[in-house]
Amino acid sequence: EVRVVSNKAGSRLAADWRLKDALRELGRAASVLFRARSAS
């Protein structure tokens, strides 16, 4: 029972980290695109 709960919490945490990583990559790509557009 406890193991199932901790596994769920762990996978939710991992999903949070993946989401944060994806958002950070998206933000980086957006800033690069924005810089390229404003430079041209």
DSSP string, 1-40: -HHHHHHHHHHHHHHHHHHHHHHHHHHHHHHHHHHHHHH-
pLDDT at residue 1, as a whole number = 72
pLDDT at residue 38, as a whole number = 92
Domain with 26, as residue range(s), is 1-40
The pTM assigned to this predicted structure is 0.62
pLDDT at residue 4, as a whole number = 84
Q: Distance (Å, rounded) from C-alpha 36 to C-alpha 15?
A: 31
Structure tokens at 2: 């406890």
pLDDT at residue 33, as a whole number = 95
Domain total for the chain? 1
pLDDT at residue 9, as a whole number = 85
Residue pLDDT, tens place only, 1-40: 778 888 888 899 999 999 999 999 999 999 999 999 998 7
The amino acid at 22: A
